[in-house]
Structure 1
Amino acid sequence: MNNNILKSADLKQTKKRNLILSVLEAAPTALTVEEIAEIASKDIKMNLSTIYRALNALVDKNIVIKTLYQDGKTYFEINNHKHRHSLICSMCNKKVNIDICPLEPIEENLAEKTGYTITGHNLEIYGICPDCIKHLPSDEDEK
């Protein structure tokens, strides 16, 4: 699959780009550059600067999506040209993908009214996961 993606985007196929794409395709959620490097290093040793350059080329060609989270870190994931929804813990940054889509009616309405062909959307909802809630002081602790 990587061969076709890179070829259709007029990008040179390299072992490192293929590996980065494979890592992102296998990941259940978006990854930081450091996480990509850690996983990829099992096969090929790469400098972070190499990974950044490869990712920037993939982002420029709309193959990979780059997102800045509330934690100040940049995350990368394959652009499957579908909409995606995530629930993100604002304490530990754990990310859970959401399967339901409350935006489909809005998307259809926008397409009808504007003439756009909508190719995707992103929705990120922030909260506190159950594990982090356990570690927060309760109201009773303050009494």
Structure 2
Amino acid sequence: MEQNILKNAALKSTKKRQVLLLLLQKQARPMTAEELHALAEPILPMNVSTVYRTLNTLTEKKILIRSVRQDGKAYYSLAKKDHSHRLVCDLCGKVIPVDTCPLSELEETLQQKTGFRITGHSLEFTGLCPECSKKDTDEK
């Protein structure tokens, strides 16, 4: 699968790109460059700078989505061709997918008003998961 993604983006299929894409696919949650480096290192040694360059390239080619969270860190996830929604815990990093799409009507309205052809979207809510919220309340 990784080879097809890279080929469709007119990128050479390197082992490093394949490993990073595979890790993002297996983890099924947005990850930082440092997290990816730590997971990739035992599989295929590479410098952190190589991870950053590769992630930037994959983001530029719209294979990945880069989002900066309230902790100031950049997180990377696989780009889906349609759209995605998720809840993300600020403390533990847990990601809960949201199956419904509350933006369908807004998307249609925006297309009609602006003539912009929307090809996808992503929506991320941040906050505290029930476990972290309980811990936070107990600590206060």
Q: Does 1:8 align with 2:13?
A: no
Deviation at 1:80, TM superposition (A): 1.5
Structure 1 alignment gaps of length 5 or more: none
How many aligned residue pairs are there?
140
Q: What corresponds to 1:65 in structure 2? A: 65
Secondary structure (helix, strand or coil) at the match of 2:92 reads coil
Q: Does 1:132 align with 2:132?
A: yes
Q: Does 1:45 align with 2:70?
A: no
Indicate how the Cα distance of structure 1 residues 41 and 59 shifts in structure 2: closer, same or farther if over 3 A, else same: same
Structure 2 alignment gaps of length 5 or more: none
Secondary structure (helix, strand or coil) at the match of 2:24 reads helix
Deviation at 1:16, TM superposition (A): 0.6
* Structure 1: distance between partners of 2:89 and 2:102: 20
Deviations 1:22-75 (CA, angstroms, capped at 9, x unpaired): 111222111111221222223211111111111111111111111111111111
Of all paired residues, the percent bearing the same amino acid is 44
Question: Does the 8 Å contact 1:29/1:97 carry over to 2?
Answer: no
AA aligned to 2:72 is: G
Question: Which structure would you say has the larger Rg?
Answer: 1
Q: Does 1:26 align with 2:35?
A: no
AA aligned to 2:102 is: P
Correspondence list, 1:53-92, <5 A? 53-92=53-92
* Structure 2: distance between partners of 1:90 and 1:33: 17
Deviations 1:61-103 (CA, angstroms, capped at 9, x unpaired): 1111111111111110111122111112233332212111111
Query: What TM-score, normalized to structure 2?
Result: 0.88
CA RMSD in angstroms comes to 2.0
* Structure 1: distance between partners of 2:5 and 2:136: 45
Q: What corresponds to 2:97 in structure 1? A: 97
Query: What TM-score, normalized to structure 1?
Result: 0.86
